[in-house]
Amino acid sequence: MTSNQAIRWVLKPAVFLAALVPFGLLVRGLLAGNLGADPLKEITTGTGLWTLRFLCITLTVTPLRRLSKWNGAVRFRRMLGLFAFFYGTVHLLIFIVADRLAGLGFPPLAAWQTFRDLAASIGGEIYKRPYITVGFTAWVCMLALAATSTAGMIRWLGGKRWQRLHRLVYVAAIAGVVHYWWSVKADLRGPQTYAVAVGALLVFRIVWWARARASVPARRARRAAAS
Amino acid sequence: MLIKPPADIPSSEITDKKVYLNRRQFIRTAAGTALAAGAGVIATEKLLGAQQPAPHGRKLVTKSSPLSTKETPNTWEHITTYNNFYELEPGAGNGPSRLAKSFKPAEPWTVSVEGECAKVGKINLEDILKGETLEDRIYRHRCVEAWSMVIPWVGFPLGNFINRCQPTSKAKFVEFTTLLDPRQFPGQRLPVLDWPYVEGLRMDEAMHPLTILGVGLYGEVLPSQDGAPLRTVVPWKYGFKGIKSIVKIRFVEKQPVSTWQKTAPNEYGFYSNVNPKVDHPRWTQARERRLPSIFQNRPTELFNGYGDQVASMYTGMDLKKNF
């Protein structure tokens, strides 16, 4: 088996299944009723944290690839990013169903009125509560990235434009940390941990970017001297 | 030490307690008494009526109260594994129950009574309980984090104790302080709140018959994570107004500043009465989830449904301003 085949048929499916484990555990806990007295809090913080974790893992792919020189790493990036989007979407859906829809008294879903009330209810929270505003911003960024994650979309957008668009992942990660930071009452240890992780992953890129910029004139100068 | 008021327990009740204990348990208790080195432990337990074995610890002798709600209480497991007790671990969850062993209330437990009252001094828990009849008070409990439970507390009116302290006319508020002991309270090693935890009540709120000094749960001695051995329960206010593991009660003229007020003055006011019309800046207080429900669909009632009994204390007050 070539390393290409190993990635495709063994490693990727394994990572895929592993990434579903937290979701499976939360669903099992919810159905079995063993998430304690406050299952809503468990599934909300659980899916929120896994969104941040997958964002961090996704942002680790490129530094890992550069440092290890293992280009195969990049083959996992899209899947990991999509899992961040998946957990973020579940997180948002929990809010919509358990908080907003429940608050409306679970009106019939097929009605136009329900759709309007629900949109107003969700929109009102996004507008009124800054931590929800940033959280929703993070999700919208991830939505844009997920929607343009196919090979067809990359071709359609063109590599440069696609790459520029996908820098939104940095906005999503930062907004995600801010959302977490603003949602806790007093104990900031959790948000601080993720702020450090995302910060470190961004520092890598800033350093590389600065180095690349510095090396362009240097290269030009070398080329000029050689000719 | 306080001068004890005349006993308000009819002698029949005292006999009752002896009947309550059967011989075998009496012998077991007697043996325990003989073996135990610390006399204080036994004295307190006797006063708590804690000789009866109980499913989770030590049984209390209680009587029912007309002030209890008919709603079904949450399970012992939920009430003792889902706690907000930042002194043990910050954040609502099972942290406090996991770390509960690190906090063993001292025997005897001493409370310092200070400020504007005649009976300034230190008083042991056994003396606080002397002459009091413990009641089961099944109350709705509404957390500021928009969840609620029904909790069968055991306690007695805080007003009884305040009367015994003989507050002066200058005493307009009561300030309570939790034990400060980072060795027992790992949460106090973190700079999360300005330790020790301080709470306050206006005198009329503290004297209200619904306000109790809690010492138990489900007819048993209060577990550490629920604020052992002595806490307040103020059912028409958000849960954090109930201060746990009290070591100081101070009568003051000026309104105290509570710990959460100090931490986030825009989010937590002094009164913190349950009010569906005053949102927490980060979430609505209009609805709550009655645990273990996952749906935020139960309408929150003004004063947590205790409006008939307490609303008159706030007539003419702007509850939006005095949140």
Choose from A27, A38, A184, A192 for mutation: most chain B CBs within 10 A: A38
- Report ipTM (2 d.p.): 0.89
Out of A34-43, A135-144, A215-224, B190-199, least confident range:
A215-224
Strand partners, B214: B155, B231
Q: Where along chain A do its domains lie?
A: 3-226
Give the pLDDT score at A227: 61
Going by C-alpha positions, the residue among B198, B199, B203 that lies closest to residue B173 is B203
Give the pLDDT score at B47: 53
Reading the block at residue B27, the tokens are: 């012998």
- CA dist., res. B126 & res. B43, Å (int): 7
Give the pLDDT score at B44: 55
Largest CA distance in chain A: 77
The answer to whether residues A178 and A55 touch, using CB atoms and an 8 Å cutoff, is: no
Inspect the interface and report whether the beta carbons of B82 and A37 lie closer than 8 Å.
yes
Q: Is the pLDDT of residue B7 over 70?
A: no
Inspect the interface and report whether the beta carbons of B190 and A187 lie closer than 8 Å.
yes
Choose from B141, B197, B282 for mutation: most chain A CBs within 10 A: B282
- CA dist., res. B2 & res. B128, Å (int): 9
Residue type, position B211, single letter: T
End-to-end C-alpha distance for chain B, whole angstroms:
37
* Structure confidence by residue, pLDDT tens digits, A95-142: 999 999 999 999 999 999 999 999 999 999 999 999 999 999 999 999
Give the pLDDT score at B24: 45
- CA dist., res. A18 & res. A76, Å (int): 13
* Structure confidence by residue, pLDDT tens digits, A138-195: 999 999 999 999 999 999 999 999 999 999 999 999 999 999 999 998 999 999 999 9
Strand partners, B280: B283
Contacts of B296 in chain A (CB under 8 A): 40, 98-99, 102-103
Mean per-residue pLDDT of chain A: 94
Nearest to B282 among A102, A131, A188 (CB): A131
Inspect the interface and report whether the beta carbons of A131 and B78 lie closer than 8 Å.
no
Q: Is the pLDDT of residue B42 over 60?
A: no
* CATH number of the domain located at residue range(s) B60-314 in this protein: 3.90.420.10
Q: Is the pLDDT of residue A224 over 80?
A: no
Give the pLDDT band (50/70/90) at residue B17.
very low
* Residue B196 preceded by cis peptide, ω within 30: yes
Give the pLDDT score at B4: 46
* Structure confidence by residue, pLDDT tens digits, B203-257: 999 999 999 999 999 999 999 999 999 999 999 999 999 999 999 999 999 999 9
Give the pLDDT score at A225: 73
Nearest to B92 among A38, A39, A105 (CB): A38
What does DSSP say about strands B135-142 and B147-157: parallel, antiparallel, or unpaired? antiparallel
Strand partners, B138: B152
Q: Where along chain B do its domains lie?
A: 60-314
